[in-house]
């Protein structure tokens, strides 16, 4: 009787012969190409850095004592360098058909020192605990922070023609608005504003979609506080084209934010991308729904753009609905999460230039309390 090791070797050799003979009888089946494809996949580097996104190790998130360790843009540039080499993202969760890469993006300009100082000031319009609540909900995701230097590096490397516009903006908020569209195009993943609080993972709301956006009941408004996308989706370059047109339109009035780089501009870009010039069609349907659109370059399937309506996803309230914001604040005090919500965009609007931000989103304590209990 043959030793078990030799027997296993003979069985493996026999299986290889059968597989080779079988492949010769099946048209279009190329065993060598299949093996080569597997080897290419194995050789492709991972986009995720070795220590993952969570500061506490794989599958956990433990915020460091010094926030500067979290909001460090050098990590963003390291991941960007890997993306430039053609790296791959892999999800470790259980949600099927999840196309959006496992990476969270946070943008605050000019830098982390100003971010921490603003969030720590008395009467601050946002708190770092809100961003931490999102990091906690996605411990296996890469967590990236983009400051002015990192944003400009991305443009210099991949989109240099936009630099004159980027530098011409009078406000950092306009630069922060615009760079998120380039981040979505180049790296993909999920972008969160500083005034977004996370209740639970939203992967089930992203599954099967290439771009996921937040709709509202305002026909002129599309929230830009939460963006999710596969890399390379043509919607983002279309958005940049619309932004460039708006820049020329408002060249003598560059103080505009909502119309030039923010939610009003994003709404127009989506309208043109999905429906061309048919604005009535957009206004009637864009409050929520799933649409097919142009696919990313090289994709062999249709592209899916999903718009979650107000009252779900991350927007329970219209920005000016003070009664709704009060109701959500009261629910959070009792540990109740509004149904159909993965988080809460508080519409604090730090870019308004006042310490209080949006006066309709009045309770700035509830977000920190909720994140501690999440």
Please name every residue paired with 142 in a beta bridge, in sequence order, or none if there are none. Answer: 103
Helix (H, G, I), strand (E, B) or coil at 144: strand
Q: How many angstroms separate the CA atoms of 245 and 269, rounded?
A: 11
**Could you tell me how many residues make up the chain?**
374
pLDDT of residue 8 exceeding 50: no
Question: Which of 162, 209, 212 has the alpha carbon at shortest distance from 182?
Answer: 162
Rounded-to-integer distance, Cα 146 and Cα 158, Å: 16
3-state secondary structure of 112: helix
**How do residues 45-68 score in pLDDT, each as one tens digit?**
789 886 655 544 445 677 666 788
Residues ≥6 apart with Cβ < 8 Å to 94? none
**Angle, helix 112-120 to helix 128-137, in steps of 10 degrees:** 110
86: left (phi over 0), alpha (psi -120 to 50) or beta: left
Q: Which residues pair with 222 in a beta bridge?
A: none
Among 339, 234, 193, 181, smallest CA distance to 328 is for 339
Give the residue, 256 or 212, on which the prediction is more confident: 212
Q: In the prediction, which pLDDT does 283 show?
A: 56
Assign 11 a pLDDT band (cuts: 50, 70, 90). very low
Q: Is the pLDDT of residue 199 over 60?
A: yes
User: Is residue 134 within 8 Å of residue 171, measured between CB atoms?
Assistant: no
Residue 325 pLDDT greater than 60, yes or no:
yes
pLDDT of residue 35: 33
What is the predicted pLDDT for the residue at 350?
Answer: 55
What is the spatial distance between Cα 369 and Cα 61, in angstroms, rounded to a whole number? 18
pLDDT band at 222; cut points 50, 70, 90: confident
The tens digit of pLDDT for each residue in 275-313 reads 776 555 555 555 677 887 776 666 667 789 999 989 999
Report whether pLDDT(180) > 60.
yes
Buried b (16+ CB within 10 A) or exposed e, 287-297: bbeebebbbbe
Mean pLDDT value of segment 105-112: 95
Identify the residue with better confidence: 292 or 77.
77
Q: What is the pTM of this model?
A: 0.82
Q: Please state the three-class secondary structure of 344-374 as a single string.
A: EECCCCHHHCCCCCCCCCCCCCHHHHHHHHC
Determine the 3-state secondary structure of 32 from DSSP: helix
Predicted local confidence at residue 284, as pLDDT: 55
Average pLDDT score, the chain: 79
Convert the pLDDT of each residue in 348-372 to its tens digit: 875 554 445 566 665 444 444 444 4
Helix or strand run (H / E) with residue 211: strand 211-214
Model pLDDT for residues 126-177, shown as the tens digit of each residue = 889 999 999 999 999 999 999 999 999 999 999 999 999 999 999 999 999 9
């Amino acid at each position: 009787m043959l030793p078990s090791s030799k027997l296993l070797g003979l069985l493996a050799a026999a299986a290889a012969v059968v597989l080779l003979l079988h492949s010769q009888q099946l048209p279009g089946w190329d065993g060598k190409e299949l093996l080569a494809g597997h080897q290419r996949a194995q050789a492709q580097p991972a986009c995720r850095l070795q220590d993952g996104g969570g500061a506490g190790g794989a599958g956990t998130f433990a915020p460091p004592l010094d926030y500067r360790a979290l909001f460090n843009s050098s990590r963003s540039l390291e991941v960007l360098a890997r993306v430039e080499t053609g790296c791959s993202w892999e999800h470790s969760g259980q949600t099927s058909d999840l196309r959006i890469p496992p990476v969270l993006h946070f943008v605050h300009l000019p830098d982390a020192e100003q971010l921490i100082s603003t969030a720590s000031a008395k009467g601050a319009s946002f708190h770092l605990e809100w961003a931490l609540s999102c990091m906690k909900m996605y411990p296996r995701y890469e967590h990236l922070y983009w400051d002015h230097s990192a944003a400009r590096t991305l443009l210099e490397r991949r989109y240099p023609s936009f630099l004159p516009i980027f530098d011409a903006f009078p406000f950092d908020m306009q630069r922060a608005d615009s760079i998120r569209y380039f981040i979505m195009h180049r790296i993909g993943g999920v972008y969160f504003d500083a005034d977004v609080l996370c209740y639970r993972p939203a992967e089930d709301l992203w599954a099967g979609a290439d771009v996921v956006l937040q709709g509202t009941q305002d026909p002129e408004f599309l929230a830009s506080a939460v963006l999710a996308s596969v890399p390379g989706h043509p919607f983002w370059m279309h958005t940049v084209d619309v932004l460039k047109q708006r820049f020329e339109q408002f060249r003598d009035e560059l103080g505009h934010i909502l119309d030039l780089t923010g939610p009003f501009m994003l709404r127009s870009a989506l309208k043109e991308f999905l429906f061309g010039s048919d604005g009535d069609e957009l206004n009637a349907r864009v409050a929520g729904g799933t649409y097919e659109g142009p696919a990313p370059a090289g994709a062999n399937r249709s592209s899916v753009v999903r718009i979650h309506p107000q009252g779900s996803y991350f927007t329970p309230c219209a920005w000016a609905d003070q009664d709704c914001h009060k109701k959500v604040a009261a629910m959070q005090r009792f540990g109740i999460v509004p149904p159909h919500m993965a988080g809460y965009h508080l519409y604090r609007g730090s870019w308004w230039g006042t310490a209080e931000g949006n006066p309709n989103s009045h309770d700035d304590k509830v977000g920190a309390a909720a994140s501690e209990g999440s």
